[in-house]
Structure 1
Amino acid sequence: MSPVDVIRAHYDASDRGDLPGMLAPLGPATTWTEAAGFPYAGTYTGPDEVQRHVFEAIGRDWDGYRFTLADLLDAGDTVVGVGTYTGTHRGTGKSFTARVAHVWRFAAGAVASFEQIVDSAPVVAATREHS
């Protein structure tokens, strides 16, 4: 599969709620960076860390958390997914919508890195009782 096909399969798995399918393209050395200012900010390595620090945390903290893909841009060994996050925070009951871009980089035919670029302000505001 081409890089864009690999990432399309990741997003298709996300739409199905298929976590193993979402993690499938990540290897043990793949780095996954959540943006500074985002509730799960940091860089995690490999599918186990990504599952624990990102997807399990999102599942714990949010209802209906979703990424809706608007554009998938094929630049060869770099693939960019552009879309929107939505969700409702379990602790506050507040919902949000935030624009986001995901930058996927491939090396030797495998996912080398993922970087999230996001408008974190609406996400953080939804986590606060008083904003």
Structure 2
Amino acid sequence: MRTAYEIVKAHYDANARRDMDGMLADIAADCRWTEMDGFPCAGTYVGPQEVLKNVFFALGEAFDGYTFALERLLDAGSDVIGIGDYAGTYRQTGKSFKARVVHVWSVADDKIRRFEQFTDTLRVADAMR
């Protein structure tokens, strides 16, 4: 059985490869995925298909070169903390942004059960104006 740290690291490794199937592989059917209020795809989505549609596809459609770069991954047992940076260029304005971000993950029974994002939404909003 993999640790929570290994499961979340596998998600980030898949993100770095641009492997969508790998990114979704360990997200539980009942996972509650929360994007911060004020972020372009703010809300809580349940399950991998909702995350795919309302987060990954939505950001890919709105931004050119949208990326997350992981700086540190912290092991807190069944919880894992990812710290890094978002970057991208908003298609409608042509403006770029870079924003610090923290992801808080909860893992149980070999699946991602909860995700919550904390980021500087003002930097993203400025690029969208």
Q: TM-score range by the shorter chain?
A: over 0.9
Distance 1:19 1:127 in 2: 25
SS of the aligned residue for 2:59 comes to helix
Residue identity in the other structure for 2:31: T
Kindly provide the amino acid, as one letter, of the partner of residue 57 in structure 1. A
Partner of 1:15: 16
Equivalent in the alignment of 2:99: 98
Specify the alignment match of 2:72 in structure 1. 71
Distance 2:22 2:110 in 1: 18
Normalised to the residue count of structure 1, the TM-score between the two structures is 0.95
The offset of 1:108, in angstroms, is 3.1
Post-superposition Cα deviations, 1:15-45, rounded to whole Å, max 9, x if no partner, equal 1111111111101100100001111100000
SS at match of 1:49: helix
Q: CA RMSD in A?
A: 0.8
- Residue deviations 1:28-63, cap 9 Å, x none? 100100001111100000000000000110110111
SS state at 2:94 partner: coil
TM-score (norm 2): 0.96
Task: Give the fraction of aligned pairs with identical amino acids, expressed as a percent.
Answer: 51
The one-letter code of the counterpart of 2:107 is F
Distance in 2, matches of 1:124 and 1:63, equals 15
The number of aligned residues is 128
Structure 1 residue aligned with 2:111: 110
Secondary structure in 1 matching 2:92: coil
Shift in Å, 1:98: 0.3
C-alpha distance in structure 2 between counterparts of 1:58 and 1:13, whole Å: 17
Query: Are 1:83 and 2:84 an aligned pair?
Result: yes
Q: Give, as a single letter, the amino acid of the residue that structure 2 aligns with 1:86.
A: A
**How far is 1:3 from its partner?**
0.7
Following superposition, which runs of at least 4 residues in structure 1 exceed 4 angstroms of deviation?
Answer: none
- Measured in 2, the distance between the counterparts of 1:88 and 1:43 equals 24
Tell me the secondary structure at the aligned position of residue 67 of structure 1.
Answer: strand
Q: Which runs of 5+ in 1 are unaligned?
A: none
The letter of the residue matching 1:22 is M
Q: Which amino acid aligns with 2:84?
A: G
TM-superposed deviation, 1:87: 0.4
